């Protein structure tokens, strides 16, 4: 990275699973650098969903480096996910026509529930498939597969974990880490957020801030996608030998099905 910015810049890894993100600092200049971000980042910046994109550079080897403004702030606490700031930003994302148009040019097709189902199931090993909670979940997913069809397709983030919500010192909220962006049913984002962070008795109020009614159809769609995502999480944590997290999600699955 120093050969791009100059030797005077201090560059440190930003963490994360890919190892492709870095912080850069020189005097009063601070940047967040990432290798091979999606071209979708430009419209996210223009829409004010992520911190401002400063520049993009293509290297001789074909890699693309993006630099964003590095802002002072913090991630949201789980308890803060109930706030109207979160509901309003997710509403803005799901209703953004420029974001949808750009992602359509990149992704081309919307992600259908049957496609997502097959992708997740194909990755489950025999040990995970043998769990009673997983068996019950598979029965539910198959039974309700025809009831989760939805015409509405929006830009979904896909991982609305509280650690991906950045609140700056001037109270500006951003949703970062868009590597898993997809065109799909908004119930994917809504379900994860509500099941993880919002007490069921408050779902109606939160969805009112977001601008949607809590119908029976939305309920079954949210539950279906959350159950499917939880299967994926169980397999992922098992593959990383992280038994505590794996068991947490198995327990969660047993509670929601």
Cα separation, 192 vs 252, whole angstroms: 12
Q: Is 159 a catalytic residue?
A: yes
Q: State the DSSP string of the chain.
A: -HHHH-TTSEEEE--SSSS-EEEEEETTEEEEEEES--TTHHHHHHTTSSSPEEEEEE-TTS-EEEEEE---EEEPPGGGGGSHHHHHHHHHHHT-HHHHHHHHHHH-SPPPHHHHHHHHHTT--HHHHTSHHHHHHHHHHHHHGGGG--S--EEE-S---GGGEEEETTS-EEE---TT-EEE-THHHHHHHHHHHS-GGGHHHHHHHHT----HHHHHHHHHHHHHHHHHHHHHHHHTT-HHHHHHHHHHHHHH-
Residue 43 in tokens:
């419209």
**Which of 159, 177, 202, 205 is an active site residue?**
159
Is the CB of residue 90 less than 8 Å from the CB of residue 210?
yes
Cα separation, 218 vs 243, whole angstroms: 32
- Catalytic residues, by residue number, are 159
């Amino acid at each position: 990275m120093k050969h791009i910015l100059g030797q005077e810049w201090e560059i440190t890894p930003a963490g994360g699973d890919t190892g492709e993100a870095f912080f850069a600092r020189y005097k009063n200049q601070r940047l967040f650098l990432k290798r091979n971000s999606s071209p979708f980042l430009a419209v996210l910046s223009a829409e004010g969903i992520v911190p401002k994109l400063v520049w993009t550079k293509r290297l001789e080897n074909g890699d693309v480096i993006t630099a964003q403004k590095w802002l002072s702030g913090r991630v949201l606490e789980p308890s803060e996910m109930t706030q109207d700031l979160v509901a309003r930003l997710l509403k803005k994302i799901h209703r953004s026509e420029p974001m949808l148009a750009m992602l359509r040019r990149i992704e081309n097709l919307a992600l259908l529930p049957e496609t997502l189902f097959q992708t997740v199931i194909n990755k489950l090993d025999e040990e995970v498939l043998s769990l009673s909670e997983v068996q019950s979940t598979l029965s539910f997913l198959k039974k309700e597969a025809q009831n989760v069809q939805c015409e509405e397709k929006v830009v979904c983030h896909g991982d609305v974990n509280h650690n991906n919500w950045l609140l700056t010192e001037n109270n500006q909220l951003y949703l970062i880490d868009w590597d898993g962006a997809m065109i799909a049913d908004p119930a994917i984002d809504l379900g994860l957020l509500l099941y993880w962070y919002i007490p069921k008795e408050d779902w109606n109020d939160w969805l009112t801030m977001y601008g949607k009614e809590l119908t029976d159809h939305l309920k079954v769609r949210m539950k279906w996608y959350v159950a499917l995502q939880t299967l994926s999480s169980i397999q992922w944590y098992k593959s990383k030998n992280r038994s505590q997290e794996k068991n947490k999600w198995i327990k969660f699955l047993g509670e929601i099905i």
